[in-house]
Amino acid sequence: MTVVEDRSVAAARRRELGSFLRSRRERLTCADVGLPLTGRRRTPGLRREELAVLTGISATWLTYLEQGRDVRPSRQVLDALATALQLTAAERRHVVDLTAPPLEPSAPEVPVAVAGVVRALDPDPAYVVTGTFDVLVWNPAAAAVFPLLVGGPAPNLARWVFTDPAAREVLVQWDAVAQDLLARLRATVAQRPDDPRRDALVADLRAVSPQAREWWSRHDVRASRSGTKRLRLAGRGVLDVPHASFAVAGQPDLALVVHLLSQAG
């Protein structure tokens, strides 16, 4: 990577951090943080001056930070902002990642042993995805539950969710799943700010989906998590299916996703 590219990436990360912090400031009210409401308001959320009172950071410096200027916030400053803005654990991690050295670009490969685990998990649907939701390996159960996801030449979970009408049939709680995908995709901006695969994916999703355009602008950030997904399956109706995501050792860009269909209720 050239020096020019390094500076461009650093500037993009500062802009992302500034936009994220501003979005979180604008979501809070005086009542949320225990401050009195004063004066008329032309913009939503807390004023910078009010955030300055809560953090001990000057309003001018907060302005520079939100504008993406070349300021270097310390960990203590980031912690103060995270506390005042009531950030979640995933959002705190996002802020730290945006100020830490980015990860090097990688071309992930699924280890043979992990591919074997995916096959062994059948009849529970399982697959391995990248940070940009390319589906690299899947088992027959996953192909049966998500046939139009893995049936194409370049399966991608996010593209399927946002562009294939069948996804709304299979995913009963489509809105929640789609928003979670975008929030997890957003988290990768901090770690790999210059990932052309992610940027192309986001551009495509925003071009075809009004929901993707709206939700991406919210700067929501989430980490992978376990839970229950409500699926509509042919011949079985609607089931609540537990699912879990596991990081692949030595491959930070890969995750093994398992849907425990055998435990569905």
- Residue 2: its pLDDT value, please? 42
- The Cα 187–Cα 192 span in angstroms is 9
Q: What are phi and psi of 195, to 5 degrees?
A: -85, 105
Which domains, ranges and CATH numbers included, belong to the chain?
A: 3-99 (1.10.260.40), 112-263 (3.30.450.180)
What residues contact residue 96 under an 8 Å CB cut-off, 6+ apart? 75, 78
Q: What is the pLDDT of residues 2-13, one digit of tens each?
A: 444 478 888 888
Q: Where would I find the H helices in 73-173?
A: 75-84, 89-99, 112-120, 140-145, 147-150, 157-163, 165-170
52 vs 41, more confident: 52
Which of 14-18, 23-27, 168-172, 193-197 has the lowest average pLDDT?
193-197
pTM of the predicted structure, to 2 decimals: 0.84
Residue 150's pLDDT is 78
64 backbone φψ class: left, alpha, beta (φ>0; ψ -120 to 50): alpha
| pLDDT score of 155 more than 50 | yes
User: Would you place residue 17 in the very low, low, confident or very high pLDDT band (cuts 50, 70, 90)?
Assistant: very high
Averaged over 109-118, what is the pLDDT?
A: 94
Residue with tokens 């916030």: 73
Query: 261: which DSSP letter?
Result: G
Tokens describing residue 130: 């990248």
Q: pLDDT class for 211, splitting at 50, 70, 90? A: very high
Strand order in the sheet with 237-248: 135-138, 126-130, 251-259, 237-248, 227-233
| Residue 129 predicted with pLDDT over 60 | yes
Q: What is the pLDDT of residue 5?
A: 47
| Degrees, nearest 5: CA angle 249-250-256 | 45
